[in-house]
Amino acid sequence: MTLYLLQICLAGLAQGSLFALAALGLVVIFNASTVVNFAHGAMGMAATYVAYVLITSFQVPFALAFAGAIVAAFVLGVVVQKFLLGRLQGAPVLTQIVVTLGLFMFLEGILGLAFGYNPRPMAAPITMGPVTLGGLVLRPQDVVQLGVLLVLCVALAALFGATKVGLGMRAITENPYAARLMGIPVGRVLAMAWGIGVLLAAVAAMLAAPTTSITPNMMDTIVVYAFVAAILGGFGSLIGALIGGLVLGVVVNLIAAFLAPELAMSIVFGLLLLVLYVKPDGLFGRAMVQKV
């Protein structure tokens, strides 16, 4: 029983790594621009079609297609911020949210028209079979997902702690007006934040694609759980998004194993309401104080 429970938790951590990656992207965008990007999953999904075309039409190896997808995602994030959200900076937050919802529906619709809604298979990056370690079965795909999450977390920590772009994002988060007065190119930094955020969503989509196949709505469930993870952790906290995503993956797997997969989302949202009732700002969030 203990071994079975450990196996479920291990698989949950691998699944949670996808939630965490998508949640980290949401938080990076929110911290810089205070916009909740409801097109987050659709933008990451769009990048997987770039990889799919590269692999199927041009016989590009998976690694190069993966790189092409994340470059396309970064460019898409920059373009959306520069030419769409950037022009709405003075608009009410609700207007900006509705625009991201419209972008979500547009991307899913246009890619559905272009490629259809039938699942398209994506080859796994590693084709070797599972490895048994002390009675636990390790799938190469799970190891890759957790490894990629670890590498990207280290990269984000270095970005925010040791680069001008990262320090600029942190300054804009604290006070965009003061950051502009200090000579920080706010528009450029915001575009970078959107590019990085969408890149993280694309990485989650690319890692999920070999298991779920590619469809226009392949990221819908993942991004819903990513929102829950970000809110549980405290929307705005990178550490909270990471821990929230991993914990959520384990919880979802435990519910699927001991109750029923169909109950997972209902129970997760119930837990979310309970946590927010006890701690409205999330587990790692900070209360926002506004002067009146």
Rounded to an integer, the average pLDDT of 163-185 is: 82
Contact 240, 189 (CB under 8 A): no
Q: Can you name the residues that pair with 216 across neighbouring β-strands?
A: none
Contact 196, 28 (CB under 8 A): yes
Mean pLDDT of the chain: 91
Phi-psi region of 95 (alpha: psi -120 to 50; beta: other; left: phi over 0): alpha
pLDDT tens-place string over residues 2-29: 889 999 999 999 999 999 999 999 999 9
pLDDT value of residue 134: 77
pLDDT value of residue 292: 41
pLDDT-derived band of residue 164, with 50, 70 and 90 as boundaries?
A: confident
For the chain, the maximum distance between any two Cα atoms, rounded to a whole number of angstroms, is 61
Contact 48, 213 (CB under 8 A): no
List the domain boundaries for the chain: 2-278
pLDDT tens-place string over residues 223-268: 999 999 999 998 889 999 999 999 999 999 999 999 999 999 999 9
Task: Tell me if the domain spanning 2-278 has CATH number 1.10.3470.
Answer: yes
pLDDT tens-place string over residues 178-203: 888 788 888 899 999 999 999 999 99
Closest CA to 84 of 98, 105, 70, 73: 98
Contact 239, 145 (CB under 8 A): no
Q: Write down the pTM of the prediction.
A: 0.94
pLDDT value of residue 167: 83
First CA to last CA distance, the chain = 56
pLDDT-derived band of residue 291, with 50, 70 and 90 as boundaries?
A: very low
**Rounded to an integer, what distance in angstroms lies between the CA atom of residue 46 and that of residue 114?**
11
Rounded to an integer, the average pLDDT of 55-59 is: 94
Distance of alpha carbon 92 from the chain centroid: 25
Closest CA to 203 of 19, 57, 31: 19
Q: 130-136: long-range contacts at Cβ-Cβ below 8 A with a sequence spacing of 24 or more?
A: 135/3, 136/3, 136/6, 136/7, 136/10
